[in-house]
C-alpha cells in the first residue's frame, strides 16, 4: 500500500470517527460538559513501568452550570484536578486509577470520584494497518457527584509520515440511579499530531459527547490545539487551549497534563516468572 493510500485511509478513519462515535472525554457528570480532556493513546506503560499523571483543567468562559453534591455553581472559573496512576502488568495489559477533585467558583474543592481503568493492546505497533487497543473505565462517584458509569473505548492509531492519527470511538452506560442500564451514550475523541519536532510536538484534538443515541440534542463538542513538551526523556508536559463548538459546551477551556514514566518493579521480580 503506497503512502497516498495510507494518508487517505487515515484521514477517513479520523473523519468517520468525528462524524459518528465518541470518546466520552468527561470525568464529570454524564449530563454536564466534561472536566477532563484526553485522547487515549495506543502507547502505554511497559511491563513493570508506572506512569503517574497530574491533570488540571480551567474553564475560562462558560454559560453552563455545575450541579453536583446538591449544589449549583457556574462553570466559568471552575478548576478540576486529577491524579492518575497507571501500571504496566505486561507489555500489552495496563491497570490504573484516577482520583478526581473539583473546585467550582464560590464553592470548596471536593473529592469527586475515583475512576478505575484497564487497557489492552491487541498487537505490537506496526504489525497491523491500524494499531488497535481496548480501553475500559469505571466511574465510582463520591456522595452526590453523579451515577456510576461504565465506559468502553476502542483506540485506533496510525502513523503516516511525520503525522500520527488517533481515534477513540466509545460507548458508555450508567450502572446506578434512575437511568441504570438505559440507552448508552456515544461520542468521540480524535487527534492529529505532528511528530517531527523532538522537544515540542504540536497537535489538534477533537472531543465530543453526543449524548444518548436515542436523544442527541445536547451534544458537547470541543476543538483544542495542543503541544507536548518533553521536559526530560521521562517527563512530558501536555498543554491545550480550546473552545466549545456547540451551545451545550463551555466557551473556552485550558487543560494540562504532566506525565511521568518510571521503571519501578516488574511482576517477574515479585513472583519469579514473567506474566504473559
The dihedral built from the CA positions of residue 257, 117, 246 and 65, taken in this order, carries a sign that is negative
* First-last CA distance in the chain: 33
Q: How many CB atoms are closer than 10 A to CB 96? A: 21
Measured in whole angstroms, the distance separating CA 167 from the mean position of its chain's CA atoms is: 11
Q: Is 251 helix (H, G, I), strand (E, B) or coil?
A: coil
pLDDT of residue 34: 86
Do the beta carbons of residue 144 and residue 70 sit within 8 Å?
yes
Could you give the domains of the chain?
3-271 (2.40.160.40)
Compute and round to an integer the Cα radius of gyration of the chain.
18
Supply the pLDDT for residue 30: 44
**Residue 46 main-chain phi, psi, to 5 deg:** -70, 170
Question: For residue 23, what is the DSSP state?
Answer: B
All three cell numbers of 240: 491545550
Provide the pLDDT for residue 263. 82
Rounded Cα–Cα distance for residues 187 and 18 (Å): 8
Q: According to the model, what pLDDT value does residue 31 have?
A: 59
Report the chain (276 residues): mean pLDDT per 10 consecutive residues. 44 44 39 85 93 96 86 91 96 97 89 97 92 97 90 97 97 92 92 95 96 72 97 94 94 97 68 48
Amino acid at each position: 500500500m503506497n503512502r497516498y493510500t495510507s494518508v487517505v485511509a487515515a484521514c477517513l478513519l479520523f473523519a468517520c470517527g468525528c462524524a459518528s462515535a465518541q470518546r466520552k472525554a468527561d470525568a464529570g457528570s454524564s449530563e454536564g460538559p466534561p472536566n477532563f480532556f484526553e485522547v487515549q493513546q495506543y502507547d502505554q506503560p511497559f511491563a513493570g513501568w508506572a506512569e503517574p499523571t497530574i491533570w488540571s483543567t480551567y474553564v475560562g468562559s462558560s454559560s453552563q452550570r455545575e450541579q453536583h453534591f446538591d449544589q449549583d455553581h457556574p462553570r466559568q472559573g471552575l478548576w478540576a484536578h486529577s491524579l492518575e496512576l497507571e501500571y504496566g502488568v505486561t507489555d500489552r495489559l495496563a491497570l490504573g486509577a484516577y482520583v478526581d477533585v473539583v473546585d467550582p467558583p464560590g464553592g470548596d474543592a471536593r473529592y469527586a470520584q475515583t475512576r478505575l481503568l484497564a487497557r489492552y493492546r491487541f498487537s505490537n505497533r506496526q504489525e497491523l494497518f491500524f494499531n488497535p487497543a481496548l480501553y475500559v473505565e469505571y466511574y465510582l462517584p463520591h456522595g452526590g457527584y453523579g451515577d456510576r458509569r461504565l465506559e468502553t473505548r476502542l483506540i485506533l492509531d496510525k502513523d503516516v509520515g511525520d503525522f500520527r492519527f488517533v481515534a477513540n470511538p466509545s460507548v458508555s452506560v450508567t450502572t446506578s440511579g434512575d437511568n441504570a442500564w438505559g440507552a448508552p451514550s456515544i461520542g468521540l475523541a480524535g487527534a492529529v499530531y505532528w511528530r517531527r519536532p523532538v522537544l515540542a510536538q504540536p497537535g489538534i484534538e477533537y472531543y465530543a459527547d453526543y449524548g444518548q443515541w436515542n436523544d442527541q440534542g445536547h451534544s458537547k463538542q470541543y476543538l483544542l490545539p495542543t503541544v507536548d513538551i518533553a521536559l526530560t526523556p521521562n517527563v512530558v508536559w501536555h498543554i491545550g487551549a480550546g473552545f466549545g463548538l456547540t451551545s451545550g459546551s463551555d466557551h473556552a477551556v485550558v487543560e494540562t497534563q504532566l506525565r511521568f514514566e518510571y521503571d519501578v518493579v516488574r511482576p517477574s521480580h515479585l513472583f519469579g516468572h514473567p506474566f504473559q
